[in-house]
Chain A
């Protein structure tokens, strides 16, 4: 469904991504794990069009999208929830979610339907409608961010570190929501520092290191891989590796 072939991309001349090959199957939850600086978030920025690849191709259902502007990528059904600071802090929760439907603003009926559906799915949208988004807690903000991207009824959701800064209860709420989206047929690509949580949620896993994909497989395969288990999950499953990246 979504694939990257030999993608190079970076900031200010240098390439963070050094030839990334990645495949996300339809209705899968793929989790990218890897150390800081591996290029995980950069992959998401390239897919959502915020960063253009210098080489290689990104495609969705076989159609190249690597050089599209962010709004064109949104129209293809790919939305992103970045690591932090995605909301408009001085706008109300209602307005923030409404802005998620900016591209369908001319179809008022569709807009209203989507808003109602999002309210049903993410209760905080109705419960805190008039509150300024900047006054929400980290967990509440993350829910509103996801709710906002649902306004376009996306085929693919890109989630960057959904667990960042969340307490266990908020985390469970976010995990449930991701699970529900998957059940409803949405493809999810997420980047997660919390490897145990990420691979626990995911159907597939990708390990990145130094701007390249080092390992791919089902989430269970990645979780049980001796090296991964040792490096990221605190060991136990296999032989320990002498030196890490």
Chain B
């Protein structure tokens, strides 16, 4: 029983971090129908930057997101204006090609600048745990989870309680309807891309502590993130939360009761099973049939 509770708790802690990482991807897809394959590379880029900040200054890696988040917001804005905006109106497959190319460029630059080797930020609490009864909660995962929840909460607040968020949601659900009430498509898309990129500012900082990484780790990350958003329903934030929780639980439960090697595979099997029954994903939009 303790094993089960321990596995579920750890699964949810990891799931919270995955949810934050996937939220940016699903937000960008929702507003622009752009599949940002470079989101994994953004995460690894931030992880590298965080590692460097931690290594040089001793700043706590998770706290370093105070620096990396605004940087990634600006980075996302510029990338949208200079690159992504040029393929607006093209098919989603075009965005896959373009952002995949961009991911390779980031990987190449990181290889040249930082070298092709594994890194991991290891702050003082890296090997410590909180104990709650029989359950042991690694401090790094608890802090990562709390940071992820704080950012997701802020994102939820922005999306539901501010005009910027309403405009983003309106453009997500009905671009021409949004234009009719005066929401500018270009500005909203740039903002959504910048916010989506900013989530990697925190996600990447957490990644640098929880997982060893090297420049080509982005393939692994984008596979997981795509899996999460496809499972949850492309463009749906609650879907990303659910998908992330399922991935986290699938990993820890399989690792506890099966073997570590099977843990990721089980998640992809779950995705295939769900998609056979619900092709639109768990939270894919389905209201009345004639709604947009």
Contacts and interface: CB of A to CB of B under 8 A. Distances in A.
Interface of A: 48, 50, 69-71, 74-75, 79-80, 82, 84-91, 95, 98-100, 102-103, 105, 132-136, 138, 148-149
A90 B176 contact: no
Contacts of B291: 85, 87, 89, 133-135
Contact of A85 (B166, B174, B285): B174
Contacts of B113: none
Given A74-B182, A85-B177, A102 B292 contact: no
16 contacts: A48-B180, A70-B179, A71-B182, A75-B182, A82-B177, A86-B180, A87-B177, A87-B292, A88-B178, A89-B174, A90-B285, A91-B170, A99-B181, A100-B181, A134-B288, A149-B180
Interface residues of B, number: 22
Contact of B184 (A50, A71, A98, A148): A71
B33 to A, nearest CB: 16
B287 interface: yes
Contacts of B135: none
Interface string B172-192: 011011111111100000000
B34 to A, nearest CB: 20
Interface of B: 163, 166-167, 169-170, 173-174, 176-184, 285, 287-288, 290-292
Contacts of B180: 48, 50, 70, 74, 79-80, 82, 86, 149
B181 A102 contact: yes
A133 B182 CA distance: 19
A102 B184 CA distance: 11
B255 to A, nearest CB: 36
Contacts, number: 87
A132 B183 contact: no
Nearest to B182: A71
A41 to B, nearest CB: 12
A41 B195 CA distance: 36
B182 A85 contact: no
A134 B169 contact: no
Given A85-B174, A86-B174, A135-B291, 5 more contacts: A50-B179, A84-B290, A88-B169, A99-B178, A102-B167
A48 B181 CA distance: 11
A105 B163 contact: yes
A134 B167 CA distance: 17
A105 B180 CA distance: 15
Contacts of A102: 163, 166-167, 181-183
Contacts of B174: 85-89
B88 to A, nearest CB: 15
A131 to B, nearest CB: 11
B80 to A, nearest CB: 19
Contacts of A86: 174, 176-177, 180
Contact of A132 (B177, B181, B182, B287): B287
Given A98-B166, A135-B288, A91 B181 contact: no
